[in-house]
Amino acid sequence: MRGITFGFYFSYQYLATMANLNGHMVFEAAVHNSEAHAFYREALLHLHESGADFMLGGAFAMFHYTGIYRDTKDLDIFCKWTEYPKILKYFSKLDGYEVELTDVRWLAKVFKGEYFIDIIFDTVNNICRVDDTWYEHAVDAIFEGVPVKLISPEELIWCKIYVQNRERYDGADVNHIILRYHPLNWKRILFRLDQH
């Protein structure tokens, strides 16, 4: 599955069907939230125009690797800490957008109405800092007609394995990636988790 270019089509509630055709995954949706997807496309085009080096993660990376869709109003963007100021500066000059540095340790945000972009450059526990190796293992894809890089399934597992809070626990996501995506690079996963 890695390295294949994908066309993404999302259901507002859930993925209706998934078929494999000529080596490409074809996703068909029963319902399409056009307003949300217009925001995703616009935001990704602006991110490219900003000149920042970024990767897409979150719900859409999960969908790519597992086929499990979740309705969401945000994009999770991952980048090195040196990149997020470019993104905030660029969006701050656009009409209709608001920006904030939410937590200097790991998170910034860009808002447009009810939709927003999470710009993630570390994790709140400062364990999963985005560095050059994330980009080296990123996966090429197409989302909303825009070429993007997705964080690798290994980095996705690494980030999610530490989300073990009272209000949110990502253990199920980790299990779904392990069960549905092959092959995983277990040496890289174990290297990432070695300190714990």
Residue of 195 and 39 predicted with greater confidence = 39
From CA 24, how far away is CA 22, in angstroms rounded? 6
Which residues on neighbouring strands pair with residue 160, listed in sequence order?
none
Q: Would you say 59 and 40 are in contact if contact means Cβ atoms under 8 Å apart? A: no
Residue 74: C-alpha distances to residues 2, 45, 141, 183 (Å): 24, 15, 18, 28
Closest CA to 69 of 32, 22, 112: 32
**Phi, psi torsion values for 32, nearest 5 degrees:** -125, 120
When pLDDT is cut at 50, 70 and 90, the band that residue 55 belongs to is very high
Fold of 34-193: Beta Polymerase; domain 2 (3.30.460)
Residues linked to residue 99 through DSSP beta bridges, in sequence order: 110
**E-assigned strands of 7-150?**
15-21, 24-29, 55-56, 74-78, 98-103, 107-112, 115-120, 139-143, 146-150
Quote the tokens at residue 149.
Answer: 């890089």
24 pLDDT more than 60:
no
Q: Is 113 left (phi over 0), alpha (psi -120 to 50) or beta?
A: left
* Six token digits for residue 35: 């307003």
pLDDT digits (tens, 9 = 90+) for 127-139: 999 999 999 999 9
Average pLDDT over residues 82-90: 97
What's residue 72's pLDDT? 81
Instruction: List strand residue ranges (DSSP E) for 139-182, in order.
Output: 139-143, 146-150
**pLDDT on residue 33:** 66
For 62-79, the pLDDT digits (tens) are 999 999 888 788 899 999
- Closest-CA residue to 115 (of 74, 69, 58, 60): 74
pLDDT for the residue numbered 32: 56
User: How do the domains of the chain map onto residue ranges?
Assistant: 34-193
Helix runs in 57-152, H state only: 58-66, 84-92, 132-136
The pTM (predicted TM-score) of the whole model is 0.81
